[in-house]
Structure 1
Amino acid sequence: MSTAIPTIDLRSPTGPVTIPLLGLGTWQSEGDDCYRAVRHALDAGYRHIDTATGYQNEDQVGRGLAEASVPRADVFVTTKLPPDAAGRERETLAQSLRLLGTDHVDLWLVHWPPNKQATPSTWEAFRELRDEGLARAIGVSNYSIAQIDELIEATGEAPAINQIPWSPSDFDADLLAAHRERGIAVEGYSPFKRTDAESPVLTEIARAHGRTVQQVVLQWHLAHEVVVIPKSVTPERIDANLDALVDLTDEELARIDALGS
């Protein structure tokens, strides 16, 4: 099993923050299942765990972090502010840190635009708490480019990352380019839920490499330098997702990209 997970650097005023391109998602992971998944993933070689206040499992993620045989400094931890917590950013992050058992997170995201608005006041609070050392990098999730531009215009600072739904069927070269023009990394969630696992293109490519469709989809993300956080609580699937490095050709990548057209 390969553990050579590629990384990219997120932009931060204090210097680049390195994020592994492949992480473990924990949406809908609950109780001991979540704890065991996090611990197994870290022991298997993952170094990136994604959670959120809204998932109500930060305490279980914290248990996994504490009990895995990996130093906290070696793990990239993301959590997120629920949109209804706008205005209570400091209290919400303090609670997240307490539950996670850490004095900082590596990435803190605005989970959804509060009241479907860009809300620069929340972004200002994020910048302040980041500057205090409580988060190494800050970003958003489920924001449009127009909403991101509103944050930039109001504060002079772009999010380091935007976490959005992403899969071959979502591929949009213009959307990727719009983020990169602004120095913003893209992080995709629900990579499998949004993928047609019976797609002839994906099944043919998977067969050619002796891999699963899911592994091909993950490698497609990595090839585009899109962070991806597949969720699983099953040890075998967690292991299989980690072993996602597939040498896809440019022609194969182009065929997968075309599934989004």
Structure 2
Amino acid sequence: MDPLVRYEAVRGISTLIPRAPRSELQQRKLSLLTPMLNDPMRAVRTEAARAVTEVPEELRAREQLRHFETALEEYKQRQHSIADRPESHLNLGLLYQNLGQNDLAETSYKNAIQLVSDFIPAHFNLANLYNAVGRNRDAEQQFCKIIELEPDNGEAYYSLGLLLAEEKRLDEAINYLEKAAVIVKTNPRVFYNWGLCLQHLGRQDEAETVYLKALETFEDDYSIIYALATLYLQQRKWDDADVRAKQLRSLNPDSAEVEQLMDYIRQNGGERVGPR
């Protein structure tokens, strides 16, 4: 097989089998990548090593990969050889984060930013790293920095809104989630979390408006429909809740969760609710 074809095959494996909780998928990914760790072409070996770091550490350790460390060092050397580019430090940061070496990951992202102060990918990954290790104040500062650099970066507004919601700062989170929804019109989760935040604040009418607006674009989104159904339950709007519950059942006929929801509506809505 042509070396370039092998290289693209490695990248394809990494893309088609992303990080997933299902261990069999990760095992399959590892079994496909392992032979490429000893490929004659360095680019293939190093890309395979990078992709292997995306597999959970316990699985890597169990397999005792013979050529992994060697190929991994080659990858690091390659990135260090182009250290005048912020992308190389970003790549190293991602690698170290995959390996659980968060201090080195932080340093790498900061090195990238030091080279190019408005290098957004490094700011984003640094913010997400801080969030992952519980340094939310630092994460907040990074997201604010991204917004300062790119005022129309919807993902930054969304990420900051989620972070603030996580900290129960819902009144602040609302503003960022609303802004994100204006900019990022293709992600239903933005609308879902915005509506959920409004719901938690007791602003139920506004939450309903957000959910209904979202369903104009994402008419079969299960999470949004479920959120709307539970909102109607809270408002004791049994007929509206029943309509949404039936919509959920059409999307997932075998869901025990939906059946329980419909039973609850039936028991509490009484004759106001039509036949199932």
TM-score for the superposition, normalised by structure 1: 0.26
Instruction: Between the two structures, name the one with larger relative contact order (CA 8 Å, sep ≥ 6).
Output: 1
Q: Which has the higher strand share?
A: 1
Q: Which has the higher helix share?
A: 2
TM-score for the superposition, normalised by structure 2: 0.25
